[in-house]
């Protein structure tokens, strides 16, 4: 069994870096705060006897050797970057649960056949730079290193420059790193486990995701003298599309999701009719065919709105990954560890994307969910119970041991 208090203390210490007034964390990818967080975790890894490898996209692998050097590592991990108004657990829990597994093995002097690795992947959140899940995406070849390096934040700084600046542009070629199996523990980031009063979510699959930037171009003009029928009001066209995003999601239950989370208005002055409005669209489903249908419906609706309003409306798909079913062996290992430990459990489809979906392209992968308070995540008030975090980490320990063999 792992040490729940030590796990909790590590979480709280890491959460100091970028701590916000409301009790959350703001530690955006590749900022100085991200560097501080990385340095802290790497320091802990070294103190636990692990060797460190960093690849060219800044993914960090901390390795505890096994007895059989021919075996690829059994890996666990997640990310330590956060949302702008993020919490203490999203991502961080998965990394520090891995560290706690290693510390526990050290405490008991347990040697595994396969090496154990704890990874943290660069820029999982995608808040500062798209694509989201950048580090694991480059690692598995979902997109190129050059594409990732060129990504810019709103102030024009690139991933390549920022990696260099914070000292985490490593040597290893991304993906040039065998993996035997990959586990990721994570808070659920939704309300399902809490609602059902379960402690462990076994994750059979992750929903696919389709992200868009929608840009409506009208004509800015003075809000007073311009008659209603002569306007080319970009805000009004955007306001037609926004409810349709939800309507599309509602047509494909129970796993349809639709969100408009981001908007920019130009020139954003109260007495000027907006000349341009840009907003994001996020569509998800666990069924690939339904996700494709949702895609076709938003494309058609945007085209229809452009035709009806006479405005130019561009819809650019900026991210896509298909639904990801996890590997039966890894899901099975999680299921049997949970049963052995006797935790109340259920299956939970992940609505959030995780680095595990990219790891799953290279190795058998699976995830372990624990409840979070009120299902809230990507929020400074994100919270989780120490005993749930401990339970998830115990499941991780036993599932990894099953794969890595003692």
CB of 382 to ligand URP, least distance (A): 11
CB of 11 to ligand URP, least distance (A): 17
Count of residues in the chain: 406
239 binds its own copies (CB under 8 A): yes
The residues, ordered by sequence, that sit 6+ positions from 364 with a Cβ below 8 Å of its Cβ are: 181, 182, 327, 329, 330
d(CA 33, CA 30): 8
344: number of Cβ within 10 Å:
12
d(CA 63, CA 176): 15
Number of residues interacting with its own copies: please give it, by CB under 8 A: 69
d(CA 123, CA 53): 17
Residue in 108, 227, 230, 271 binding ligand URP, rule: CB under 6 A:
271
132 binds ligand URP (CB under 6 A): yes
**Contact 189/375 with Cβ under 8 angstroms?**
yes
Mark the binding-site residues for Zn(2+), compressed into ranges.
Answer: 79, 90, 125, 186, 378
Backbone angles phi, psi at 396, to 5 degrees: -60, -50
Determine the interface stretch with its own copies among 137-145, 176-184, 241-249, 328-336 (rule: CB under 8 A): 241-249
**Contact 26/124 with Cβ under 8 angstroms?**
no
Site for ligand URP in 314-373 (CB under 6 A): 352-354
Number of residues interacting with ligand URP: please give it, by CB under 6 A: 10
Residue in 109, 156, 224, 310 binding ligand URP, rule: CB under 6 A:
224
d(CA 297, CA 198): 36
Binding mask 106-135 for its own copies (x = CB under 8 A): --------------------xx----x---
Beta bridge partners of 117: 63, 75
Residues that bind ligand URP (CB under 6 A): 124-125, 132, 222-224, 271, 352-354
Residues that bind its own copies (CB under 8 A): 83-85, 126-127, 132, 188-192, 195, 207, 209, 211, 219-228, 230, 233, 235-236, 239-240, 242-243, 246, 249-250, 253-254, 256-263, 265-275, 280, 282, 284, 350-353, 375-379
């Amino acid at each position: 069994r792992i040490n729940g208090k030590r796990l909790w203390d590590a979480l709280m210490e890491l959460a100091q870096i970028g701590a916000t007034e409301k009790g959350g964390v703001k530690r955006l990818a590749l900022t100085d705060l991200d560097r501080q967080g990385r340095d802290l975790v790497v320091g802990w890894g070294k103190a636990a006897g692990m060797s460190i490898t960093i690849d060219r996209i800044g993914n960090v692998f901390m390795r505890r050797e096994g007895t059989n050097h021919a075996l690829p590592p059994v890996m666990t991990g997640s990310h330590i970057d956060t949302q702008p108004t993020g919490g203490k657990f999203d991502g961080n829990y998965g990394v520090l649960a891995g560290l706690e597994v290693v510390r526990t093995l050290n405490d008991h002097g347990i040697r595994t056949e396969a090496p154990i690795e704890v990874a943290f992947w660069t820029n999982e959140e995608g808040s500062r730079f798209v694509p989201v899940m950048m580090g694991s995406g480059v690692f598995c070849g979902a997109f190129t290193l050059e594409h990732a390096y060129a990504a810019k934040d709103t102030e024009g700084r690139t991933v390549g420059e920022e990696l260099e600046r914070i000292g985490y542009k490593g040597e290893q070629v991304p993906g040039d790193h065998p993996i035997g199996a990959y586990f990721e523990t994570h808070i659920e980031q939704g309300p399902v486990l809490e609602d059902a009063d379960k402690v462990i979510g076994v994750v059979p699959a992750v929903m696919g995701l389709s992200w868009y930037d929608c840009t409506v171009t009208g004509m800015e003009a003075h809000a007073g003298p311009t008659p209603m029928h002569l306007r080319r009001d970009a805000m009004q066209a955007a306001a037609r599309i926004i409810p349709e995003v939800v309507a599309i999601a509602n047509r494909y239950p129970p796993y349809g999701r639709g969100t408009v989370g981001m908007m920019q208005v130009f020139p954003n002055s109260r007495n000027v009719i907006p000349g341009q409005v840009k907003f994001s669209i996020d569509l998800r489903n666990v069924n690939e065919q339904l996700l494709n249908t949702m895609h076709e419906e938003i494309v058609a609706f945007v085209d229809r709105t452009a035709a009806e309003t006479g405005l130019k409306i561009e819809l650019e798909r900026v991210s896509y990954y298909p639904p990801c079913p996890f590997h039966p062996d890894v899901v099975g290992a999680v299921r049997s560890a949970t049963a052995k430990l006797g935790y109340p459990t259920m299956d939970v489809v992940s609505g959030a994307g995780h680095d595990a979906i990219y790891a799953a392209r290279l190795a058998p992968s699976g995830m372990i969910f624990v409840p979070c308070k009120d299902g809230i995540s990507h929020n400074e008030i994100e919270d989780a119970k120490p005993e749930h975090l401990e339970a998830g980490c115990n499941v991780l320990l036993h599932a990894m041991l099953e794969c890595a063999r003692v």
